[in-house]
Amino acid sequence: MSDQGIGSWPHRRARIDPAGTALRQGERTLSYARLAERVDGLAGALAARGVRSGDRIAHLGWNSLGAFELFFAAGRLGALFVPLSPRLAPAEITHLMKDCAPAAVFHGPEHAQVAEETCGGAGLVAGPAEQEAMTGEVARPPRRTVGLDDPAVVLYTSGTTGLPKGAVLTHGNLLFNTLNQIAHVDVLSTDVALCVAPLFHATGLGQASLPTLFKGGTVIVDRFRPDATLRTIAVRRVTCFSAVPTMLQMLCEHPDFAHTDLSGLRYVIYGGSPASARVARAWQRRGVTLLHGYGMTEAAPGVTLATARGAAERPLSAGPVHFFSDIRLDGPVPEGPGELLVRGPNVFTGYWRRPADTAAVFTDGWLRSGDIVRVGEEGWVEVVGRTKDVIISGGENIHPAEVEAAIDALDGVKESAVVGVPDERWGEVGVAHVVPEHPGAVTEEQVLSQLRDRVAAFKIPRRVRIRGDLPRTGSGKVIRRALRDDSA
């Protein structure tokens, strides 16, 4: 081999560099080499305290370097990382602790009391100081072969339709989600990804963070706050981040958005639900490429993702199916609308200790999403709504997402949500909950009159409720059952 072989390739340090920055939080940084040392130290300390392969290690707190270290240390041991949301009420956290029965619980600095009260008899409860001390211990982790089929994390679903269920994702699920994203997006070793989507949701780990670390880039770890997030994007020359539409909306509505330097941003991945056309246009006007994706916790989470080519013309489309995933539609025609079914190496193995719930979401090896989609030009997917959200009025199916898109396009409308309520004559009728751009920007009568030229008559909601905001889960999804309760 010549002197210009692999070992002396001029760009080698840009791709595989132990001294390169893996993680940053504030002014603190960890190189890849130092991260590996600390993960080994933490894994060894956990093993010395009795944590074994298959045990659960819970984390109650916001995004932090320590949370990432714990995630990797759990994987090093063959244990399962279980990130829990501090937004939940103590009773809800207690339920999740009992469900996953962790061997160890780690918490953020402000969550010590809640962790102690809800830990469910875990053998170890530790805060940031205790975790920091453990990374410096000399105990070495046991040799443990961890395969692709071994479980890696338990992520609890948002529970909009009942108690949260823990989706078990394997190391293979996480790996193939990473490869899927890299097939759609040109992730670079020079990327600086901002992780503000919480780690207790699949987006935090799966979209941007793990793909960037896979390629040797830098992940900036932080909690989402619009002013601080915009400042970080500008100062740190952030190249990418992932978000839910609510976050994109809060950022573009912030007073600093118009003069924040966004020139470093190569792309933003968002999902959870389509952004409004108004929000998409606001980001496009700043020259930012929005890549809308469709996914769910059970798919680690990506199923489809827009590509740079075509994203500008179709910012609300969820893009084509991922490279290592297959989809089909359960409906009268192949292109839909119909319920989306997915299979592939990124699809989860099942819910934690819930075999009946697991069996209920699979049909002949296909995961039923519960979402109604159609496939348009070039295979790009458009999300129409959820099977449980479909309104059947006088025998006609009404998909709320279609009506919401028409309402959101009206002057003076900030966002909307349409739900079905019982009706003696029609079985169900739609009720639209509309948030105006500012008080008085739009009236109920204006919404109804402008819709007549935009959607079929049977799709027009029978009533419109003007309100200040929409109820949402911690991941930004609209809580439709609350709107139904408020629609009578």
Q: What is the pLDDT of residues 187-233, one digit of tens each?
A: 999 999 999 999 998 999 999 999 999 999 999 999 999 999 999 99
pTM here?
A: 0.84
Taking only the tens place, the pLDDT of each residue in 358-372 is: 999 999 999 999 999
* Structure confidence at residue 11 (pLDDT): 39
15 pLDDT tier (thresholds 50, 70, 90): low
- Cα separation, 104 vs 284, whole angstroms: 45
Distance (Å, whole) CA 139 – CA 415 = 54
Alpha carbons 110 and 115: distance in angstroms, whole number: 10
Please state the rounded mean pLDDT for residues 381-408: 84
- In degrees rounded to 5, what are phi and psi of residue 295? -165, 180
Percentage of the chain with pLDDT > 70? Answer: 95
Q: Residue 169: is its pLDDT beyond 90?
A: yes
What is the rounded average pLDDT of the residues 147-167? 83
Q: 67-117 pLDDT, tens per residue?
A: 999 999 999 999 999 999 998 888 889 999 999 999 999 999 999 999 999
* pLDDT-wise least confident of 9-23, 64-78, 285-299: 9-23
Domains annotated on the chain, with CATH: 9-146 (3.40.50.980), 171-386 (3.40.50.12780), 390-485 (3.30.300.30)
- Tens-digit pLDDT profile for residues 334-343: 888 899 999 9
Instruction: Identify the H or E element spanning 434.
Output: strand 427-436
Distance set, CA 300 to CA 6, 270, 287, 343 (Å): 34, 14, 29, 12
Q: Is the pLDDT of residue 463 over 50?
A: yes
In this structure, the strands spanning 302-305 and 290-295 are: antiparallel
Mean pLDDT of 45-59: 96
Least confident of 140-149, 373-382, 388-397: 388-397
Is the pLDDT at 2 greater than 50? The verdict is no
What is the pLDDT, as a whole number, of residue 160?
Answer: 44
- Residues 241-269 have pLDDT tens digits of 999 888 998 999 999 999 999 999 999 99
What pLDDT was estimated at residue 4? 35
* Cα-to-chain-centroid distance, residue 235: 25
Average pLDDT over residues 159-185: 88
